[in-house]
Amino acid sequence: MNKHILRCTVICILATTLYTACKKDDDIPTPGNLSVTPAKALPETIITISGSDMQDIVSIKFDTATASFSSVFNTGSAIFTNVPTNAKYGPQQITITNREGKTATVDFSVLQPAPVINGFNPGNVPVGDTVTITGSMFTNINGVYIGNVKAIIVDSSSRTRLKIKVPAGAASGLLSIVTWGGTTYSTGAITIGERAYLISDFDGGGLAADGNSWYAYGDMDSKTVTNVNPAPKSGNFLKAVCKQPATTSYAGVSTFALSTANQTFGMTSATAGTTLKFDVNNNGKTATILQVIVQETTTDANATNFALSVPVNGTGWNTIAIPLTQLLNNYGGGTLTPDPAKITKVKFHFQNYNTNPMEANIDNVRFAY
């Protein structure tokens, strides 16, 4: 009899325990009264979701993007979580779900970071040509501008690469991109009006972008990158000043070869009508004469140096344009002209500087075609 009573007692206790456990699960309430602080934030920002009955939460989603969180720091009235890096931008709902599948939502807005422009290519283009801009956060674009003229967007399918067409009426200036996250500007200006391979603007643009990409040789007093004395044409420029009296028979500045191999500037033999262009200011030294040289191969030999002597006797900044058909080998004394696809260096060599003070302030060196 006692054994029977004990057995019944145990069964009753087990039944009660199971009933209580099941009832406890069934009684997990639905979360409610949700609020979020802050109400809008950038991706990866820590936010706080407040409310009631938020225990046993197993999922947090920003629209369809799943957020990470740790139950260790959560309570029934507060949850800490990060805005997912892949969350969509703009207004949306955060949905929290407990382990019984009961959900609650709260309104939130994911802020979009401002775009970043890393660069653009080409840097010199005529109206109608396409320019590729590289960077990040190219999404939800309201407009792309050259100066204050709105460009035509050709392809905006990538967050890191954007293609635009140069519109009629555009003039040289900074590029800007306007998105939900703000507006950003390029660090250097794009030149409108010619198609060109930029060698150097001395502001970070071009294949030999700055003063460290150029070297001085012979009777050079100084070679510096500056934006004063004279006033600049556009940003920094290369100031080259030769010595007097002469101690050797040559003086000048040159781009370094791009590599130990015969690496070229990237033009092709089919680039018709190619012209070497640069802006120059003699800073009052009107007797300045430059021998303008392009070199094929990295070997410095007469046969691979094509040149033309140019007086720089104007005032202020002037643009000099030399068709490659006017540059002859043997430093100007030969009959052959350079092949654009083989050019590895650009040089500026002072002439007759022993008796005449000379100075060349050089900017925006490019091959236009």
Edge-to-edge order in the sheet of strand 46-52? 32-37, 46-52, 78-82
Per-residue CA distances from 84 to 60, 77, 114, 187 (Å): 10, 22, 17, 30
Q: Check pLDDT > 50 for residue 21.
A: no
Pairing status of strand 32-37 against strand 57-62: unpaired
Name the average pLDDT for the chain: 89
Q: Check pLDDT > 90 for residue 39.
A: yes
- pLDDT recorded at residue 13: 47
CATH architecture observed for domain 116-192? Sandwich (2.60)
- pLDDT recorded at residue 270: 67
Phi, psi of 197 (to 5 degrees): -95, 115
Q: Check pLDDT > 70 for residue 14.
A: no
- pLDDT recorded at residue 311: 97
- Average pLDDT, stretch 141-156? 96
Domain 32-110 and domain 116-192 have a common topology: yes
- Average pLDDT, stretch 324-350? 95
Q: Check pLDDT > 70 for residue 218.
A: yes
Q: Check pLDDT > 60 for residue 168.
A: yes
- pLDDT recorded at residue 74: 84
Residue 7 binned pLDDT confidence (cut-offs 50, 70, 90): low
- pLDDT recorded at residue 267: 80
How confident is the model over 307-323, as pLDDT tens digits?
A: 999 999 999 999 999 99
- pLDDT recorded at residue 15: 47
Pairing status of strand 40-41 against strand 103-110: parallel
Pairing status of strand 214-218 against strand 130-136: unpaired
What is the domain partition of the chain in residue ranges? 32-110, 116-192, 196-368
SS3 61: strand
- The CATH code of the domain at 32-110 is 2.60.40.10
Who has greater pLDDT, 214 or 24? Answer: 214
* CATH class belonging to 196-368: mainly beta
Give the Cα separation of 61 and 310 in Å (integer).
69
How confident is the model over 266-290, as pLDDT tens digits?
A: 787 766 679 999 999 999 999 999 9
